[in-house]
Structure formats: C-alpha cells, structure tokens
Structure 1
C-alpha cells in the first residue's frame, strides 16, 4: 500500500520484513514504550540510520506496524467459516475471534484501537485498510439479520461498540486487582460468559 511510509522495492522486502517482525516483537514484549527508533534498530540488529532509510523515521515505522497488525487480524477473521444465515451465530463467531486476538496481546490491541502512542495518528489510507480489515467484516455479518425498517449502519456500529467496549473493559480489569466484592470472577469462563451474553443481548435488542 502506498502511504506516507513509502513504497518498497523488491530488494528491500526481506530487510523490511525483518524490521517489521522486530517491531512486532518489541510491541508485544515491551509495549508501545519500546517503539523508539533506537529500540527498534537494536531489536532488528541494525543502526538507527537503517530505520530512517527504510521508513523515513518513527512515524513511518508506526504506519507500517499499524498496517501489519490489521493484516494479522484480518488473517484471523478470514479463517472463520462462511456465514450460516443465523446472524447471532455468525456475529458471535466473529466476536469471539476478535476477543481472542485482543487477549493474545493487549499491547498490540491497544496500539491498534486506542491512542496508545501519544501524538501518533495513522495514515488516512491505513485507517481505511483497518476499517476494511475489521469493522466492515462485522458489519457485513450484522447486515444479514437487520430488519427491513432498521438502519444497517447504525446496527452494525452498535454491535461493534458493544463488542469493542466489552473487550477493552476486560483487558483493563485483567490488568488490575479486582475491587472487593466484584461480581465477575477474574477467570476466562466469567469473562467469556459476560461477553457472549452482552453480544447476544445487543443483537436481540436491535431485532437481529
């Protein structure tokens, strides 16, 4: 994709891939704090000049990393079975895959969906790619069960925001000690259950 992090020639592909893998490793292991030019250069086993040469600087690296993380999410979602015609079943399949991707690496998820890197705003073309790789796939599944008198875009957004909110809250709770008397036990079963119930409730509520 042609974005502000530039075009890649065939000769640079292998080297660029090595940088991106190093950046992913840094993000997963150290969080966004590790995404500095010096830190990325060290992880890739090269100099900071190499980062500037290939990506034009830190923003270029972040753009390339942003693109790659959404490609990874799209790969996961693409493995889902074709839609069955049952919108609740189809949306829940998507939702649980999305949740699993988030739990696999909270730091990666935060980089993708939150303003985890101060001052960083992804390239506009990459924002479109991110939407096509995530939200649009969900909206297509939701649209199959939207009543004729309902707004499919609004319904899709309501389902997306419910799913996204539940995942974000779970990650926050998992990162902290639960408050005394909290009704959810800090285990996978409890959060999986509340997530499943929440997505189902919103689908039923909008008449899907």
Structure 2
C-alpha cells in the first residue's frame, strides 16, 4: 500500500500532503506527537521522503506554522471582500481571527510559539505572519480613508487591534477564559468595544 502512495505523489503534492498530515497530527496529539518518521508512516511514504522537503522537525513545524498564517489570511481576505461599511468589515475581520484561533487551537499556538519567532531562521514564516498583520493595517487605512476611524499611525492602531484579538483568542484557547455563550458573540462584543475606542 505504501509503495502505491509513493508512486502517486508528485514533488509539490507530497510537500502539501506532509503539511496537511502534520497539522492533523498536531491537532490530535500536540506538537510532541510529530516526528518525521511518524509523518512518513502516516503519509505512506519512505522514511527518507520527508527529508527531501524538511531538513528537520524544526523546519517542518515552521512550515506548518507558515501554512497556518496563510490560511488565516484567506479567512481575513474573504471578510475584506464583503460589501458594506468598512468599519463593520474590520470588526468582522477581528471576529474571524478569533474564531480561526478557537477552531484551530494547537495550530494557532504553534504559529505564535517562541521557536517559530526565529524570523532569521524561517523567513517564509516571518513573511506569512507579516502578511496577516499587514491585512489589519490595510483594513485600518480603509476605515480612516472613509472617515470611520480616528486619524493616527495605522500600524500603531493595528497593534492595538492585534493585541485585542490575539489576547482574547489566547485566553480562550488556553482555558483562562470561558465564553458565557457563543464564542462568536463574545468576539463580536469585544471587537465592537475596541472599535468604539478607535472610531472617528
């Protein structure tokens, strides 16, 4: 069976498959459950195959974290493309951010772990994380241009917004805070209070 799978993977497809399986392993058993050997067994490829794409576990985890940021960015951009008031869209981006974290807690922790913050060692991960932050900056600039948000350095305001959504997301996924009802409702309430402080 394993040899059949090995024959069906193209070079790029195998890398994507390895990342998908690694993310599944992280969700099920945590970061500690992931080894390149276990990954090869779960994917049905030779033990040496993962090393053609990832030099070691650290590189693999950085790639999984990078993919997480890319998926988060897709969620945020889907909200950006909605019609309606720019300030409402920006709030909905915050809600989407929090919901992504709550729905992917182990993956989200990996994205922001200390080891993954070594930007010089993982430039692709750094770029993916920056793209998410830049989407917040762009959203704030759109609100400012429409006269819906106070003037000021958009990056500075983006840090305020990021600290709010990341803080709530971290409290929720670490069990330090329990939503009294639906997580989406708490996320909407929190982001609404944030925007009241940033509104023009």
Q: Classify the TM-score, shorter chain.
A: 0.7 to 0.9
Q: Structure 2 stretches of 5 or more lacking a match?
A: 1-8
In structure 2, the CA distance between the partners of 1:17 and 1:153, relative to structure 1 (3 Å rule), is closer
Cα gap change, 1:76 to 1:149, in 2 (>3 Å): closer
Measured at CA, do residues 76 and 83 of structure 1 come closer, stay the same or move farther in structure 2, by a change above 3 Å? closer
User: Does the CA contact (< 8 Å) of 2:95 and 2:191 recur in 1?
Assistant: no
Q: Which runs of 5+ in 1 are unaligned?
A: 1-9, 179-183
Name the CA shift for 1:38/1:120 in 2 (closer, same or farther; >3 Å). farther
Deviations 1:134-179 (A, max 9, x none): 22112211222345642211111101111110111111227x8x7x
98-107 or 65-74: bigger deviation: 65-74
SS at match of 2:97: helix
Aligned partner of 1:204 in structure 2 is 196
In structure 1, the residue matched to 2:156 is 154
Partner of 1:173: 175
What is the CA–CA distance in structure 2 between the aligned matches of 1:79 and 1:119, rounded to whole Å? Answer: 26
> TM-score scaled to structure 1, two decimals?
0.76
**4+ residue segments displaced more than 4 Å:** none
* Contact in 2 for aligned 1:83/1:141 (Cα 8 Å): no
Task: Compute the TM-score of the two structures, normalised by the length of structure 2.
Answer: 0.79
Q: Is the 8 A contact 2:141 2:154 kept in 1?
A: yes
Bigger share in helix: 2
Q: Report the CA distance shift for 1:90/1:21 in structure 2 as closer, same or farther (over 3 A).
A: same
Q: Is the 8 A contact 2:21 2:42 kept in 1?
A: yes
For residues 91 and 13 of structure 1, the distance between their equivalents in structure 2, rounded to whole angstroms, comes to: 35
CA distance in 2, matches of 1:120, 1:139: 21
Q: How many residues align?
A: 186
Q: Which residue of 2 aligns with 1:66?
A: 65
